[in-house]
Chains A and B, each alone.
Chain A
């Protein structure tokens, strides 16, 4: 059952040439989308700051912004479609992995496991996400409008150097804190015997998810570092033939 990998290369090149001239509709839609997302994450940022200033504590902060967060983070799935249909020239897999990890955190960890919502690690990754997303979406917006202020480009390709590891730390700590509650309640798990002859243990699944950060995070991080060298420093990188 071996696959031959030779065939697609010539066709792909032709497709790339076609897609480089984006339709006006695609540009308009992407501009609208990125402006909307920038606005959404700005709203989140302000709501978080307002809560903290008014209440002086982070307890209950997650609950107050939960709906907005879930809304804007879930809409990001659309970005995978953008890559798939080619109006955004990024790998579907890279975008897919990033969006899926966010959706997973929001829906399957913080939303489902209420006891960890007041943890500091949650605030940590929320702050990181907010900062990163505002920078990213405003970068895309200005890029599409062909008026990119240098400080946004600088922020996009430099802040991730500390933001990414901080965000990962927040996420991993949150999952780790959630583990005892998952074990106790046996949530999202299925045991034998059952008529589908399958079992699923959410507790061990979460441990595997945590371990998967080890190979995945460096790949995403180095991908961003490579992008930084290309975009900010103008280096030409010869890609490995694989």
Chain B
């Protein structure tokens, strides 16, 4: 890199020499850079895998991962976890070598995170699946119900409404994944796509089978029940969308600074005063609305399982917020105001 810089300066000087001006002296070289030595060892067997010398002190962990990838092409950077201590936490990609508590010889422990897949791919597969599967049941494609019902249409208007709501929910999620969400981890383990897709797709099929069944029984309290449920559903969909927008606006593109989300002018975000993860709260509300709208036990079951999962995630996020920010508002609960 130094020789190139010298060449560029020389060229500049050549051009300037055409004008009758005294040649400016080239600036003195920057103070001597202390190069680091990096040793990478296997976290389990402690076997030395790679020794790098002449590593720039301003290199990031990502640069080191890229260098490791060159000598071990089967471990691309996303799959590498480098740690200072074999049982400690993985170092972040953007950490700079000279800021780490290491001498001029840095030792990192490597473990393989397994095959990785981009989070966007997983999210999109999770959402396209239920969208299409539900529609297959809605249009009563052959081999699902008895042949005489193939391609028939339900006579209950709540079934058509349910299809619109379910599809709207997943279309909204797909658009949010494409344009709104900003996730800090670039990838996740490959097996997650099988786990997550099975969960969403199987539940979607189970729910859709009963809602679109020729022997479906409409809700007990009729129009009143459906209308109330629809209002709850739409309210929570708008709420969830508002929260996702607010969370997106918290992070500037490229910046990794974490901030506490606060209520904004949008009334749907006022719930931030009481809850750390209102996106999950609104999601729960949407599915409760959908359950009441369809009065279908599999939907209730899906709502309950989703609630348990989201509570676990909300509590994790809430704990992280409390750890990261010492002035984190104490009034907030993870997912349900004052309760959970």
A residues with CB within 8 A of B: 1-4, 6-7, 9-10, 192-199, 238, 241
CA distance A4 to B90 in the complex (A): 13
B304 contacts A by Cβ under 8 Å: no
- Contact flags B185-196 to A (C-beta < 8 A → 1, else 0): 100100010001
A241 interface neighbour in B44, B122, B216, B220, Cβ under 8 Å = B44
B211 interface neighbour in A10, A195, A197, Cβ under 8 Å = A197
A198 interface neighbour in B122, B192, B220, B297, Cβ under 8 Å = B297
CA distance A241 to B183 in the complex (A): 24
Known contacts A2-B196, A6-B90, A241-B44; A197 and B188 CB within 8 A of each other: no
B309 contacts A by Cβ under 8 Å: yes
Known contacts A197-B210, A241-B111; A4 and B185 CB within 8 A of each other: yes
Q: Is the CB of A193 within 8 A of B196?
A: no
CA distance A125 to B220 in the complex (A): 47
The residues of B that contact A1 with a CB separation of less than 8 Å are 123, 126, 196, 309-310, 313
The residues of A that contact B216 with a CB separation of less than 8 Å are 192-193, 197
The A interface, classified by DSSP as helix, strand, loop or mixed, is: loop
Return the 10 tightest CB-CB contacts between A and B, nearest first: A198-B297, A193-B215, A192-B215, A197-B296, A196-B297, A197-B210, A193-B217, A195-B217, A3-B313, A7-B316
Sample (5) of A-B pairs whose CB atoms are under 8 Å apart: A2-B183, A3-B316, A195-B217, A195-B220, A197-B217
CA distance A198 to B211 in the complex (A): 9
CB A208 to nearest CB in B, in angstroms, measures 13
A4 interface neighbour in B213, B220, B316, Cβ under 8 Å = B316
The residues of B that contact A9 with a CB separation of less than 8 Å are 89
B119 contacts A by Cβ under 8 Å: yes
B320 contacts A by Cβ under 8 Å: yes
B294 contacts A by Cβ under 8 Å: yes
Q: Is the CB of A192 within 8 A of B316?
A: no
The residues of A that contact B294 with a CB separation of less than 8 Å are 197
Chain B's closest residue to A196 (CB) is B297
B319 contacts A by Cβ under 8 Å: yes
CA distance A2 to B116 in the complex (A): 14
CB B217 to nearest CB in A, in angstroms, measures 5
CA distance A195 to B300 in the complex (A): 13
Chain B's closest residue to A13 (CB) is B87
CB A128 to nearest CB in B, in angstroms, measures 33
B269 contacts A by Cβ under 8 Å: no
B298 interface neighbour in A2, A198, A241, Cβ under 8 Å = A198
A2 interface neighbour in B192, B296, B297, Cβ under 8 Å = B192
- Contact flags B211-242 to A (C-beta < 8 A → 1, else 0): 10101110010000000000000000000000
The residues of B that contact A199 with a CB separation of less than 8 Å are 210
Q: Is the CB of A196 within 8 A of B44?
A: no
